[in-house]
Structure 1
Amino acid sequence: MGKKLEGNGRWGTRFILPEYQEGFQNLKRMQERHERPILGEDERDEINRAILESVHTGRRLMLTIYDPFQDYELAGIVTKLDQQMRRIKIEHGEEVTWVPFEDVLKALVED
């Protein structure tokens, strides 16, 4: 007389509330974070030399920028140093990006 429930009696992920699904995705993303590497004095000196060379000569610079999830590269010319805010201004194409000094992991002047 009564209808019997079909299936194996387990709840699948398709029954998770959207709020919980979003929470699971955020948790997974947070677990993928990586720490900011600690650079040595020699590495910092190399970065500073390359930045100053780009400012004074107008030569293009290839920067590796720290990101908690995936580092990225940015190529452009350093047009300004803001020592008070501890950042550099990079012009790349028609765009301008301000990058904090502490986020620069590597800097190479392009030939």
Structure 2
Amino acid sequence: MKPNKLTEGSNMMWTSSRMILPEHREAMLRALHEEKRRERPIFDEQFAEQIGRFLAETHRTKTPVNLRMFDPFDDVRVIGIIERLDTLNRRFMVDGEWFRVADIVELGMDTE
């Protein structure tokens, strides 16, 4: 009798990845994606005031900014000149797109 290739005398391994259902694969990929989710940082009032002063000054002087924004999965940057400030709704516009002030995690000026 020949040895069974899956169990005896063979280096072959039967892996579950060859038999996974598409629904299970999607659930597994979603779970892996969620593991990479970042938590929103919490800043003190002093940083919030610094952000307000920075946005007002760079808007007034038309100085290009390079802001790192919160995103749970990616490194997102807003680079450009602040066109409009909406202090009531705590948002600003760069290149025709609105961004929330609360999403700013790092301030910088565009040096390029």
Q: Could you say whether these structures have the same fold, taking a TM-score greater than 0.5 normalized by the shorter chain as the test?
A: yes
Q: Which amino acid aligns with 1:99?
A: F
Q: Check whether the contact 1:50–1:61 (CA below 8 A) recurs between aligned residues.
A: no
Question: Which protein has the larger Cα radius of gyration, Structure 1 or Structure 2?
Answer: 2
- Structural mapping, 1:1-111, within 5 Å: 7-8=6-7, 12-91=16-95, 96-110=96-110
Q: Deviations over 1:26-57 (max 9, x none)?
A: 01111111110001122112211111112111
TM-score by length of 1: 0.78
- Paired residues in the alignment total 104
The structure whose RCO (Cα within 8 Å, separation 6+) is larger is 1
The runs of 5 or more residues in structure 2 that have no matched partner are 8-12
Q: Deviations over 1:8-33 (max 9, x none)?
A: 49552121111110110001111111
3-state SS in 2 of match to 1:108: coil
Q: Deviations over 1:46-90 (max 9, x none)?
A: 211111112111110110100011332221111112234432111
